[in-house]
Amino acid sequence: MLAELRKVMPDAPVIYAADLAGLPYGEKSEAQIAARVAGLLGRMAERYQPRLACIACNTASTIALGMVRDVLEIPIVGTVPAIKPAATMTQTGVIGLLGTAATIRQAYVDNLEAEFANCHNLLRHAAPGLVEAAELKLRDKKVDMGVIEAAAHKLRDMPEGERIDTVVLACTHFPLLEDELREAFGPEVQFIHGAQGIARRIVHLTQDQPFAADPSNRFVVTGDLQSAQPLLPVVKNHGFSGIELF
């Protein structure tokens, strides 16, 4: 998602917060996620005074977006499963959705399906193992293709799953594994996530706002700073000078 934002807003100062101490969100209860996201964003808004906040997590957005918007007095951009564009892309009418357990069970996702994909067949599968695989890839470690293939097989084994031609990556970790997922599903399947749409929304909400010539970019983490150090190469690749503890 950050890569897509940088394409359209290369000079915007970004404070990227990785809640490593809270992982994995997808295995927590709705109450736990709502409290954590609201608390973390509240403290960040007080400390950094941003002009806008983006919840770069499908699970957190589908659960806590409304609550955070009620509390904070800045625009809040959420990240929700890209079911609407998937419905326009599919040719077979069968769409797969990979997300966390918390995301796929949300009424928010039910409503997106009812509004945009009610003429299609949306097959959902919770694939928490993909989160761990993506974290390993971020740290330049080997990804177990067995985990990727298992997620693909779970969707394929559902009724009409063999007709899936579009897969929604309903977790911001999963686009990191798009190459591996394409290998597992085959070339006839296309993938969609919301990063480009989110970037366009941020551009719209900050339109005509000036940015400092020397932007202050910061990458902050919760939890143990030492355990975050393997992320340093990818962090620097995205324009951050280092990793700070929040």
Tens digit of each residue's pLDDT, the chain (246 residues): 899 999 999 889 999 999 999 988 988 999 999 999 999 999 999 999 999 999 999 999 999 999 999 999 999 999 999 999 999 999 999 999 999 999 999 999 999 999 999 999 999 999 999 999 999 999 999 999 999 999 999 999 999 999 999 999 999 999 999 999 999 999 999 999 999 999 999 999 999 888 876 667 999 999 999 999 999 999 999 989 999 999
**SS3 of residue 110 by DSSP:** helix
Q: Is 54 a catalytic residue?
A: no
- Does 3.40.50.1860 match the CATH number of domain 83-193? yes
Class of domain 2-79+196-245: alpha beta
Q: Which residue out of 17, 171, 192, 199 is catalytically annotated?
A: 171
Task: List the chain domain ranges.
Answer: 2-79+196-245, 83-193
Q: Which two tokens stand for residue 64?
A: 């806590």
Q: What is the model's pTM?
A: 0.92
Q: Which residue out of 1, 53, 56, 57 is catalytically annotated?
A: 57
The residue written with tokens 């779970």 in the block is 154
- The answer to whether 219 and 242 have CB atoms below 8 angstroms apart is yes
**Cα 74 from Cα 71, distance rounded (Å):** 9
- The answer to whether 95 and 86 have CB atoms below 8 angstroms apart is yes
Equal CATH topology for 2-79+196-245 and 83-193: yes
